[in-house]
Chains A and B, each alone.
Chain A
Amino acid sequence: MALAGQPNVGKSTVFNLLTGLSQHVGNWPGKTVERKEGTYSHNGISVDIVDLPGTYSLTANSAEEVIARDHIIKERPDVVVAVIDASSMERNLYLVAELLSLQTPVIVAVNMMDVADQQGLKIEPEVLEAALGVPVVPMTATNNRGIRELVEAVDELTRDEATYEPKRPEIREDHRAVLEELEHLVAAHVPQPYPSDWVSLKLLEGDDEIMRMMEDRLPQETWEQVHEILKEHEDAVLAVASGRYDWVGRMTRAALVRPGVGQITLTERLDRWATHPLWGLLVLAGILGLVFLLTYSLGAPLQGLLETYVIEASARLAASALAGGPSWLTSLIVDGIIGGAGMVVTFIPILIIFFAMMGLLEDVGYMSRAGYVMDRFMHLMGLHGKSFLPLFLGFGCSVPAVMGTRVIDSRAGRLLTTMLVPLVPCTARMVVLAFITPIFFGAAAPLVAWSLVGLNLLVLAVAGVVINRIAFGGERAAFIMELPLYHKPNWQTIGILIWQRSLAFFKRAGTVILVVSVVLWGLSALPTGDIETSFLAGAGRLLAPLGALMGLSWQMMVALLTSFVAKENAIASLGVLYGAGSEAGLAETLPTIMSPAAALSFLVVQMLFIPCVATVVSIFNETKSWRWTLFNVLFLLLVSFGIGILVYQVANVVS
């Protein structure tokens, strides 16, 4: 007798119960796989048992599977006992389907009946026995239940094989003729003791070992015919396996009753809302709103405090410490390094809160649902629902959003999402928006700000459709997603996640911003030390004709340029260029030098402009392509200035 079964179905327990101390352990010949043999006696007959290695199928995928099938075919045991786990019957029946394709009689031992019982699964052994056409023995080996019945069943079957009429799975109907044709070709050459129908089936499955065996034995001409058939039906493996799964489906439908509606799990109840086409989106919108509310209400004041007590205090400290030194050094440290790279520090609260929210949503199992329900909307842009995750992160900061595109499998999807990330208004852009809108639009400021965010999302959607159609052929990938069970959050996991993500952000973004800040400071200070005659001002004046189309002076264009270092630099640059000295002063000065139409145009460009340098570097790091990085920059320049000009011209006409 041979004991077969998947790993962890209690096969060893059954083996130990049957053999007791009459067992010995060695290795299978030529293999390092353990071979356990033993004996038991029943009704005066001594039965030898071989415990076959645990396998999921009988295809030559592993040494264990080859050992198991070779033993059954070549050693021809009188009976094979297939031990299956009652609590996951579907997963186990595929192996039974394969065992039934061999000639050795099979008994199915349905073990772990107690576990199935605890899970509310009702298995009807008699029904399963009728469906399978082979003896079925329910067991709980750990409690010594069912062992005697198994021994009886083995005894009975070996005494009277005539009653053994298994209902074997069949290959899918559309491939039956091919199987027959193949068997007709190979039957006369199949070596003993291999069954010719089984060999034909394995050939259709593309089983390497059987292919080699038959290639050696078939006449050249016949092998070429066989090879031609196999080439023509290279997907026949699907027809073979499909037939087995149909069979497994029929068996479980017949003999397995699952818990009823009254026992629906919490996850299923929650998912009725969370993955519903409409309610799921509303749930997501609500959660997003909550995330924004918490991020801005908790993070923004903390950001302000850090700016006052860390950045400004450090700048004052550095300025007084360097008071006796050269003025360029003071300017480099205070304006370039602290004013530029130091801004990264002020993002700590917002980033931590954002990472914490995302970590929490991931840990409880919600994020995969968010991706799932967003899929249909992302589909409009040719994007997979997973693109939603990095784009969502873009509302905080574009750098982790670009890095987050790694969740997308295909290069096309990753590239497309990376190109779109800068169109999601990041926190820094929102800060500029929040500062400028009230100066020009008063009570209408919230509406203007809301419209500008909406414009960004609209451009994002349109750009997504266009880029996808042109660059990626409009293909829509298919994804199978596992929606994990909801569970209580593990605060330690979330804490580690926040720490790792924040650290990665500061390591990557911090170093780049430091270098670029120094370079930009150099451009604003050289060659004379006066910004009016600096290279930066020169560049600004070069852009003046373009600025004129939007009602923007060269100073405004320079402010846009400096936003390349960090978005919020636009405000500081305006203050310096207009000599306002402070933000309050700037608020009073700006309306006197710029019309609301020009301000609106400036905001539009600012919201759609090329992202900060840290994001551009991240885009290069992720795409590993200068071509795509450059394309992204040019694309955003074109879009931002194009729409900026349009808005200014239309606003002028309207006003």
Chain B
Amino acid sequence: MFERLLGALAQGGAISYGDLARSLGVDQMLVQQMVEHLARLGYLSPAAGSCREECGACALGDQCSSGGPDHTWTLTEKGSRAAREAR
């Protein structure tokens, strides 16, 4: 299941939980759980995670991401390597 998820990510671009759920043939809830699991294992990281750190006292800090900093994930270096292998 993980290798198929990573394989889908290896193609690059934006992909939603719904897209992944359809391509893996599972529910979005399970996709979300797998994504969080991959993040715990260091294969994914929150895409806008650095935003919070850099914003500091900036008034735009809390508004810095549409969709929320924790709602978009990207592959880490380790994740990219695994994704390439999965493809």
Contact = CB atoms under 8 A, between A and B. Distances in A.
B61 to A, nearest CB: 9
Nearest to B15: A480
Interface string A125-136: 000000000000
Interface in B9-66: 9-18, 20, 24-27, 29-30, 32-35, 37, 40-41, 43-51, 54-55, 58-60, 62-66
Q: How large is the interface on B (under 10, 10 to 19, 20 to 34, 35 or more residues)?
A: 35 or more
Contacts of A500: 59-60, 62-63
Interface in A438-487: 475-484
Contact of A386 (B10, B41, B72): B72
Contact of A480 (B1, B9, B25, B59): B9
Given A406-B51, A478-B10, A480-B35, A362 B29 contact: no
A409 B30 contact: no
Interface in A181-228: none
Given A407-B51, A409-B47, A477-B12, A484 B29 contact: no
B16 A372 contact: yes
A80 B20 CA distance: 34
A500 B33 CA distance: 34
Interface in A479-526: 479-484, 497, 500-501, 503-504, 507
Contacts of B34: 245
Contacts of B82: 235, 238
Contact of A410 (B12, B16, B74): B74
A51 interface: no
Nearest to B41: A237
Nearest to B63: A497
A503 B75 contact: no
Determine which residue in A237, A480, A497 has the highest number of CB atoms from chain B within 10 A of its CB, and name it: A480
B18 A483 contact: yes
A275 B64 contact: no
A90 B30 contact: yes
A407 B48 contact: yes
Contacts of B26: 90, 249, 252
B64 A406 contact: yes
Q: How large is the interface on A (under 10, 10 to 19, 20 to 34, 35 or more residues)?
A: 35 or more
Contact of A483 (B16, B49, B58): B16
B74 A409 contact: yes
Given A91-B29, A238-B3, A242-B2, A480 B60 contact: no
A478 B59 contact: no
A94 B14 contact: no
B13 A480 contact: no
24 contacts: A90-B29, A91-B33, A235-B82, A237-B41, A238-B82, A245-B34, A249-B26, A371-B14, A371-B66, A375-B14, A376-B13, A389-B66, A403-B60, A406-B65, A408-B48, A409-B49, A477-B12, A478-B9, A480-B35, A481-B16, A482-B17, A500-B60, A500-B63, A503-B59
Closest 8 CB pairs of A and B: A368-B67, A476-B12, A367-B66, A504-B59, A245-B1, A375-B14, A242-B2, A482-B71
Interface of A: 61, 88, 90-91, 94, 172, 235, 237-239, 241-242, 245-246, 248-249, 252-253, 258, 271, 275, 362, 367-368, 370-372, 375-376, 379, 384-386, 389, 400, 403-404, 406-410, 475-484, 497, 500-501, 503-504, 507
